[in-house]
Chains A and B, each alone.
Chain A
């Protein structure tokens, strides 16, 4: 399978990937390296993992990162309550130290979290580590061992090696600098807002029933809107919401009625100051220019 095949296969599943992204993804698959995706919010980084899992017909395991995420939440945790009960029961049965210890620190008592689950699957899953920049630096260190060796060391059990290597996709919004060590282990692709042609293709892939002229108007409008000075620039996801809203309200022409356009703007503008900046008149003007 070449990268163009991959691109076509993804497009068939409704994900339009740029050439750069397709090559990077193709290499990540063939070389078995993690792929780090960076870019603004809403350009389809997370969706890529979902589409890839669908295309490869495999499981998607998702780890959403947040500040304070630690090994117990991401890798594994012992089932302490069960361990305590077992120790009690064992004491009543007269079982002694060593055998109890062996029992309570066995796989049976281990709660698998996403990272451990990802390397112990029968067929290689897609592991999505979402918004890695939100987790703190210490967590990156946990990731390093897993991403380079695909193994996890559990002090009580020993090292768990991967049965299959997952396809790892990391996403980042760039809210903090990632460590060089992590970047070095990953292939990298920067996902930008799509150009007009690509975005049109995305719209038609996702909203099959949309009329050609209206589709062009919607994409043109959103593209022009991105050029305005906004606090939160609308991404592809917002564009799709907007298209759905426009279709749901039965609007056939964006330029026809400014007041209806105003109601649908809530799908694109997500802060109060952006709403204040793009008044209905401005929106109508942008729609007029885009058409």
Chain B
């Protein structure tokens, strides 16, 4: 049974302890300021602060701001206030939003939100669905690659800079969804009464100058899902540079990697230092170059992140070759589910650029009916050329 921590005699008092607790929370990634400390103290005055459960609930209401934080709060509370031995011990891993520049590939990777640790070591049952074109076979593998690759070897800063330009062009091409809200404009379909009346005061109450309002264009949000399984390794350089560029040029974009699991890399890629961002991404892409489970990854995305980040104003970009080890029905259902959120889905397949390519892989064939656009993309130049195609979406 846990007991309330007994603080040392030289401890300056309850206020300092609460301040210490706030610092403890901050260290563990909760975003709290000075005013929250003040509010926490005020809140504790309102409940029976001597009772652990009452003060726990009061501090929970003040200090948390989303479900994720609520889930972690109890452990954080216990580690500070209960069981003297574990005071200030960091027991909950902080979300990787603090820059970590000492990134080594030998270190334990901390991918955020990566479920399913099952490791299959057997090669695939035998329905490999790709033809080779001479050198090396392209097949979907079930094997999770346990060797971690440092993506910094793959991606060069120059590429990222170029990708940034490409991403900007793509963003501009997608930016034409009209808003529902009207704003004042010289031309428009409706009268802006507020401004018209205001202007009419200058002309003795005669509304001479009519101000109108129209619906402005709104940027659309790009959500990119990049396949980094074994069969995609050769294209990883291009796509990862593109992701990094996209995140740097568009502050609303969102990025994920998947192989046998799905990892959100948005926060990591926002790092100001390009190479450090890619270093952090490689920590999260544990299992890079391993097997591919496209269907389950996208299903997981549709069930979790999509509910928060994908709406009718989003464009989901899937960068994958479509070689899936899971049954095609899973992918079919996942994409159908995703589509219901009202987003546009674009699939960029590096193999489509090949001569005589036909989407015969089961996964790809199942996905086709759900796609708004199915394009080839092997190089940055290909990605840059997309802007004309996405314009018509």
Which chain A residues have a beta carbon within 8 Å of chain B's beta carbons?
A: 2-3, 19-20, 23-24, 26-28, 30-31, 33, 35-36, 38, 67-68, 70, 72, 78, 80, 83-84, 87-88, 90-91, 97, 100-101, 104, 136, 138, 174-177, 180, 183-184, 186-190
Q: How far is the CB of B123 from chain A (nearest CB, A)?
A: 31
Q: How far is the CB of B177 from chain A (nearest CB, A)?
A: 12
With a cutoff of 8 Å between Cβ atoms, the chain B residues found around residue A78 in the complex are: 193-194, 197
A24 to B63, CA, bound (A): 11
User: Do A33 and B39 touch across chains, with their CB atoms under 8 A apart?
Assistant: yes
User: Do B194 and A80 touch across chains, with their CB atoms under 8 A apart?
Assistant: yes
Q: Does B205 contact A (CB under 8 A)?
A: yes
Q: Does B309 contact A (CB under 8 A)?
A: yes
Show 26 residue pairs from A and B whose CB-CB distance is below 8 angstroms, ordered by the A residue. A3-B54, A23-B57, A23-B60, A24-B61, A27-B47, A27-B62, A31-B42, A35-B61, A38-B67, A70-B181, A78-B193, A84-B197, A84-B205, A87-B205, A91-B204, A91-B205, A136-B181, A174-B67, A174-B308, A176-B308, A176-B309, A176-B311, A177-B309, A184-B31, A184-B36, A190-B64
Given contacts A3-B47, A35-B61, 7 further A-B contacts (CB under 8 A): A19-B53, A20-B57, A84-B207, A90-B205, A101-B201, A175-B308, A190-B67
With a cutoff of 8 Å between Cβ atoms, the chain A residues found around residue B205 in the complex are: 84, 87-88, 90-91, 100
**Interface class of chain B by DSSP:** helix
User: Do B61 and A189 touch across chains, with their CB atoms under 8 A apart?
Assistant: yes
Which of chain B's residues 24-43 have a Cβ closer than 8 Å to chain A? 31, 33, 35-36, 39, 42-43
Q: How far is the CB of A65 from chain B (nearest CB, A)?
A: 13
Q: How far is the CB of A220 from chain B (nearest CB, A)?
A: 26
Which of chain B's residues 57-73 have a Cβ closer than 8 Å to chain A? 57-58, 60-62, 64-67, 70
Contact A177-B181, Cβ < 8 Å, known A23-B54, A87-B200, A183-B66: no
Q: How far is the CB of A180 from chain B (nearest CB, A)?
A: 6
User: Do B62 and A187 touch across chains, with their CB atoms under 8 A apart?
Assistant: yes
User: Do A31 and B43 touch across chains, with their CB atoms under 8 A apart?
Assistant: yes
With a cutoff of 8 Å between Cβ atoms, the chain B residues found around residue A186 in the complex are: 65
How does the 8 Å CB contact mask read for B287-314 relative to A, with 1 for contact and 0 for none? Answer: 0000000000000000000011101000
Q: Please classify how large the interface on chain B is, using the bins under 10, 10 to 19, 20 to 34, 35 or more.
A: 35 or more
Q: Does B180 contact A (CB under 8 A)?
A: yes
User: Do B39 and A31 touch across chains, with their CB atoms under 8 A apart?
Assistant: yes
A144 to B311, CA, bound (A): 24
User: Do B181 and A27 touch across chains, with their CB atoms under 8 A apart?
Assistant: no
User: Do B181 and A138 touch across chains, with their CB atoms under 8 A apart?
Assistant: yes
Q: Which of B33, B60, B181, B197 contacts A184 (CB 8 A)?
A: B33
Closest A residue to B53 by beta carbon equals: A19
Closest B residue to A172 by beta carbon equals: B66
A99 to B35, CA, bound (A): 45
Q: Which of A30, A36, A87 contacts B46 (CB 8 A)?
A: A30
With a cutoff of 8 Å between Cβ atoms, the chain B residues found around residue A176 in the complex are: 308-309, 311
User: Do B181 and A188 touch across chains, with their CB atoms under 8 A apart?
Assistant: no
Q: How far is the CB of A70 from chain B (nearest CB, A)?
A: 6
Contact A174-B204, Cβ < 8 Å, known A31-B46, A138-B181: no
For the complex of A and B, the 8 pairs showing the least CB-CB separation, nearest first, are: A68-B180, A87-B205, A24-B61, A23-B57, A183-B65, A80-B193, A187-B61, A190-B70
User: Do A175 and B311 touch across chains, with their CB atoms under 8 A apart?
Assistant: yes
With a cutoff of 8 Å between Cβ atoms, the chain B residues found around residue A184 in the complex are: 31, 33, 35-36, 65
User: Do B204 and A67 touch across chains, with their CB atoms under 8 A apart?
Assistant: no
A47 to B60, CA, bound (A): 22
With a cutoff of 8 Å between Cβ atoms, the chain B residues found around residue A101 in the complex are: 201
With a cutoff of 8 Å between Cβ atoms, the chain A residues found around residue B58 in the complex are: 23, 27
A2 to B200, CA, bound (A): 57
User: Do A27 and B46 touch across chains, with their CB atoms under 8 A apart?
Assistant: yes
A183 to B48, CA, bound (A): 25
With a cutoff of 8 Å between Cβ atoms, the chain B residues found around residue A174 in the complex are: 67, 307-308
A176 to B312, CA, bound (A): 12
With a cutoff of 8 Å between Cβ atoms, the chain B residues found around residue A138 in the complex are: 181
With a cutoff of 8 Å between Cβ atoms, the chain A residues found around residue B46 in the complex are: 26-27, 30-31
Which of chain B's residues 2-48 have a Cβ closer than 8 Å to chain A? 31, 33, 35-36, 39, 42-43, 46-48
A97 to B31, CA, bound (A): 52
Q: How far is the CB of A92 from chain B (nearest CB, A)?
A: 10
With a cutoff of 8 Å between Cβ atoms, the chain A residues found around residue B197 in the complex are: 78, 80, 83-84, 104
Q: How far is the CB of A147 from chain B (nearest CB, A)?
A: 14
A65 to B75, CA, bound (A): 35
A101 to B179, CA, bound (A): 33
Closest A residue to B36 by beta carbon equals: A184
A18 to B67, CA, bound (A): 16
User: Do A188 and B61 touch across chains, with their CB atoms under 8 A apart?
Assistant: yes
Contact A175-B62, Cβ < 8 Å, known A26-B47, A80-B193, A88-B205: no
With a cutoff of 8 Å between Cβ atoms, the chain B residues found around residue A27 in the complex are: 43, 46-47, 58, 61-62
Q: How far is the CB of B80 from chain A (nearest CB, A)?
A: 19
A183 to B63, CA, bound (A): 10
User: Do B311 and A38 touch across chains, with their CB atoms under 8 A apart?
Assistant: no
